[in-house]
Structure 1
Amino acid sequence: MHHYLDQIYQELVIRHPHEKEYLQAVYEFLDSLGDLVDSDSSITENNMIRRMVEPDRIISFKVIWEDDQGVNQVNTGYRVQFNQALGPYKGGIRFHPTVNQSILKFLAFEQTFKNSLTNLPLGGAKGGSDFNPKGKSDQEILRFCRAFMTELYTYLGPDLDIPAGDIGVSSKAVGYMFGMYKRLTHRHHGSFTSKGITYGGSLVRPQATGYGLVYITEALLKTYFDTSIQGKSFVVSGAGNVAIHTASKIISLGGMVKGMSESYGMIHHDKGIDIELLSSIKDKNQTLDQYLNTYSDAIYTDNPKDLWKIPVDIALPCATENELDLEDVKTLHQNHVMAILEGANMPTTLEATHYLIQNKIPFVPGKAANAGGVTVSGLEMQQNAMHVTWDFDTVDQKLKQVMHQIFYRLHEESLRLNNPYDLVKVANILSFKKVYQAMIEQGL
């Protein structure tokens, strides 16, 4: 790493030694900027990068809510407002027991530069709580969402900070939070995205991240291999919203999904996953081994890592951070994988990322590949501002256009830098340049 950037990183390590997810995201970002720093002395002179890698503010608060037994429970809530140089803060809310400050800082940091790549006028943020919605009644989730929003609402607004749903936050939970926000502010405006269709939500929003991932895969295959998704085989990690819609879109375009996974294991069906059956299994909160009750020729193992051993053309990690490590990508490479694209946030370790680049395996990082969600959130905000509703095909085509544009801009920049197999570097450079210029022009 460039010595100036390494100084910034080491300072962060000293200040935040236990925030491993945040430090990993910053390291990967800084590691891409060395040549840019050498070519532009103003970057070091104004010390802008140092200001850019820490959030504008972190809001933390306790959330007191009553369970069905009448007992008051306590969780911790957060909102990390990272950067608003390009527009109001924008990023999801996550409810999961693993949520902590480090994870939300990493997600808000990534969100800042992901939003930059979409060319939408949005800054970056992320929020959530260590509340676990699994096993909770509908009334418990309602009471938690109301308590959470009571603490957070003063920091939100259509020109300030616009949250959306994320892991553990269903459309129903978004509705509960939006309803409480309206009760507290007496305003019905675009202060949330991922809303229900009946009160200002956008069509395609539930499918957006998965569909967007497939659209950028489509552009990659055309550019690098002059081919399409038709007839290609895939593995998709995860079995949640992103993975299900990713697999569904692949199948609709003539591809085959041979394997999917969850934290408890993975299912391999060489004839192609029946995505309607798998979706039904997950809707019933059942584990993937139930798939064998219908398809005895499928293979289930209790090790989700076995997913990466399946020989396929394309691998799409869509589950969680650091799920794809060096050994996994070596196995995929040995099995002649054509490309890997990130549907989750930072699912590939640094060592695995470097291996892919060195071995010239096309690899698209999450800040580009999974930008479909925030893209449609931006389109939802446009519809709210104009008081209109676009049909499914209109939103879907706009999403496809944005995702294709993101990829072609990355590829064009990679050719300019004479390294068409380091899309990580160009994604970081392009997103950085836009945020940097905005901060300079505004004196931030």
Structure 2
Amino acid sequence: MTTQVFKTDTPAQSYINSVFEQLKLKNAHQPEFLQAVEEIFLSLIPVFEQHPEYIQHNILSRIVEPDRIVSFRVTWVDDQNQVQVNRGYRVQFNNVVGPYKGGLRFHPTVNESIMKFLAFEQIFKNSLTGLPIGGGKGGSDFNPKGKSNAEIMRFCQSFMTELYRHIGPDVDVPAGDIGVGGREIGYLFGQYKRIRGAHEAGVLTGKLPGYGGSLVRKEATGYGLVYFVEEMLRDNNQSFLNKKVVVSGSGNVAIYAIEKAQHLGAKVVACSDSNGYIYDPDGIDVKVVKEIKEVKGERIKTYVDYRTNATYTEDFLGIWSIPCDIALPCATQNEINGDAARTLVSNGVKIVAEGANMPSNLEAINVFLENGVLFGPAKAANAGGVATSALEMAQNSGRNYWSFNKVDEKLHEIMRSIYIESKEAAQKYGTPGNLVVGSNIAGFVKVANGMISEGVY
């Protein structure tokens, strides 16, 4: 992190720089959060130059401070009857557009900085969907890997025993994220109902279909990512047909991005997990990946037991050395650095779109933009998951259950609208084609205008 990120030639630049410098002093120990804020702020200079009222209302100083952060102890008993202690979080960042909305992440890397970065990004991502949802995020440093169903149930029950008092259908609606799928959401919802004594279906999204959940939710982020790239391609008179694609990760986002890209005619040749990556020159067999990850819960390296032409390589970051037309990082934050970006560029990548949250660092993003690579930032490209969560909220509110095709059509239209809105904002504020700037501005302006309209509180 540099000490002086922004020039100070104009009042807008001076204001943005001042707010960021103050934020760094307050949050010096939170690099992920500062990285997310820096990326947003760099995009907003032209907005503040055209809208001095945002400076007058001190929007930036207000928007970078969460409404509240809840941190709590989670105590549970493992199968050996040993008491275990984890830490839980819920960051309720901004609810100007609607109730706080964002996933719960169960992973050993979870800390306050990561929760704040994810919640901050969620504000603008949710704003971009056009749906009435604000930004929040939560989770725990609990690791569900290797735990029995009974241990996960007991942890979830303990976690919800504290969390329930801070959430509600019109207050804060958590969903799943890394380490939190339909099983965990089910345990969390069961405990919420038990405590509240009411079936408030809209309090959590990501529930299993048939039990208040929406169809397409599992597929939504991956499908939405591909729909977004489809719009990028269409705008450049291209399609997925015969494109060579590399997808990092092998969770829900990656699996369903692979599935949809292949459906549209692409050849996906690689995917990964946190240990390493597989390369299949004949094209990834997504049915095998589903069998390995969704049914057996095994590591991706076992893919080579099913496909003899495939190879497995330790070190998952090496996946970005594989030449491709389209790269879809769907694993984790900061998985593409400047060197990886330069390798992708030298190997001829034409499009990079983010399925994970902040998988490309600032240096990598600059490399892509400077070399004319079409770049789809996470807050726009991976918004399909939260968009479908909001559609689940709508179904719960109306006691409805929509068909797969109906939800998928709505998802497709939302992703198309996000692309168009981001493109138009980039054009309006002097950076045509830069979807990083466009999506940041489009999401920010809605929230900033809402904050002004509601006054200071």
Normalising by the smaller structure, the TM-score range is over 0.9
Matches within 5 A, 1:115-134: 115-134=126-145
Aligned residues: 443
2:170 is matched with which residue: 159, 162, 180?
A: 159
Q: CA deviation at 1:299?
A: 2.2
Name the counterpart of 1:321: 333
Q: CA deviation at 1:279?
A: 2.0
Q: Does 2:263 match 1:273? A: no
Q: CA deviation at 1:292?
A: 1.9
Name the counterpart of 2:308: 296
Write the deviation string for residues 23-79 of structure 1: whole angstroms up to 9, x where unpaired: 000010111111211222211122111000111000011011111122211111110
Aligned residue type for 1:314:
I
RMSD between superposed Cα atoms in Å: 1.1
Name the counterpart of 2:387: 375
Name the counterpart of 1:17: 28
Name the counterpart of 2:248: 237
Given that 1:357 and 1:421 are in contact with CA atoms closer than 8 Å, whether structure 2 keeps it comes out as no
> Which of structure 1's runs of 4+ aligned residues deviate more than 4 A?
none
Name the counterpart of 2:197: 186
Q: Which runs of 5+ in 2 are unaligned?
A: 1-5, 7-12
Given that 1:361 and 1:421 are in contact with CA atoms closer than 8 Å, whether structure 2 keeps it comes out as no
Name the counterpart of 1:170: 181
Distance 2:161 2:399 in 1: 27
Q: Does 2:275 match 1:264? A: yes
Q: CA deviation at 1:198?
A: 2.0
Instruction: Report the 3-state secondary structure (helix = DSSP H, G, I; strand = E; otherwise coil) of the residue aligned with 1:154.
Output: helix
Distance 2:419 2:439 in 1: 9
Instruction: Report the 3-state secondary structure (helix = DSSP H, G, I; strand = E; otherwise coil) of the residue aligned with 2:268.
Output: strand
83-92 or 274-283, which deviates more? 274-283
Distance 1:285 1:380 in 2: 27
Name the counterpart of 2:445: 433
TM-score (norm 1): 0.98
Name the counterpart of 1:285: 297
Q: CA deviation at 1:411?
A: 1.6
Name the counterpart of 1:67: 78
Aligned residue type for 1:326:
G
Aligned residue type for 2:115:
L
Instruction: Report the 3-state secondary structure (helix = DSSP H, G, I; strand = E; otherwise coil) of the residue aligned with 1:300.
Output: strand
TM-score (norm 2): 0.95
Q: CA deviation at 1:293?
A: 2.0
Q: CA deviation at 1:413?
A: 2.4
Q: CA deviation at 1:412?
A: 2.2
CA distance 1:107–1:302, change in 2 (3 Å): same
Q: CA deviation at 1:419?
A: 2.7
Q: Does 2:344 match 1:332? A: yes
Aligned residue type for 1:391:
S
Name the counterpart of 1:96: 107
Distance 1:240 1:311 in 2: 22
Q: Percent identity?
A: 50
Name the counterpart of 1:362: 374
Q: CA deviation at 1:169?
A: 0.8
Distance 1:19 1:370 in 2: 24
Aligned residue type for 2:251:
G
Name the counterpart of 2:234: 222
Aligned residue type for 1:232:
K
Name the counterpart of 1:8: 19
Aligned residue type for 1:79:
R
CA distance 1:417–1:440, change in 2 (3 Å): closer
